[in-house]
Amino acid sequence: MKLYVYHTPELVPGDCNPDCAIAVDVLRATSTIATVLAAGGEAVQVFSDLEQLMHVSDKWSPEKRLRAGERGGGKVAGFDMGNSPLDCTPERVEGRRLFISTTNGTRALQKIENAPTVMAAALINRAAVVKYVLEKQPETVWIVGSGWEGSFSLEDTVCAGAIAHSLWEKTSLPIEEIAGNDEVICATALFTQWQDKLLELMHQASHGKRLLRLDCHEDLKYCSQTDILNVVPIQKEPGVLVKL
């Protein structure tokens, strides 16, 4: 197994696909996706374009859909919700499909949608994703951070490092044998240094600060937790993720 970490979707190679691709947007798209599916949501369908989201979701009855739109960290006017996983209670999402478009995370998922296996990971479901990868033993695994509008983000890279670190520990292989690029070493080192202070790291991150200005303190607390959800969001068809 060879792991590759890409800090943003823009850095993903355009001429090949891995056996398994994992999208990461800790703050907050993939955290929200995992939470929705763990709470009984039927599926999550992702869009980069808001108009396309509206067009597709219009075909669903209001009782069977939820529209989530986020730009710049804030809720898009006219949508049912923004991008907070704390809004995704079983009472609200059970049996419904979430149609979601966010600033960064949905772009990452669309960038890797042609891989044979596509998953969404966050810190909160890290262990479940690692368990699935170890069971399937894909030859190549890409972990793709969403970043922020093309730039590196601390929270996505530390999550990539959390996944890589766990895979490294559980395979008992030297890190240089499973690391396909230097970014794996970088991400693993970041996680090793901050693994006991992940909420503090969120407060240092530029997007974490952006969310704090929007009074999203509880979102940061929730998203900085590790391994609290036993759910693997996996792509059933391009852009549509379901609970494994």
CATH match of 2-243 with 3.90.1560.10:
yes
Strands (E), the chain: 2-6, 20-24, 43-46, 65-71, 74-75, 97-101, 117-121, 140-145, 233-237, 240-243
What pTM, to 2 d.p., does this model score? 0.96
pLDDT at 103: 81
- pLDDT score recorded for residue 170: 95
Q: Which two tokens stand for residue 118?
A: 């596509």
Q: Considering the chain, what percentage of its residues have pLDDT values greater than 90?
A: 91
Please report which confidence band the pLDDT of residue 1 belongs to, taking 50, 70 and 90 as the band edges: very high
Specify the pLDDT at position 72: 86
- Averaged pLDDT for residues 117-130: 98
Q: What percent of the chain has pLDDT over 70?
A: 100
Q: How far apart are CA 36 and CA 31, in angstroms?
A: 9
Can you state the angle between helices 126-136 and 154-171, rounded to 10 degrees? 50
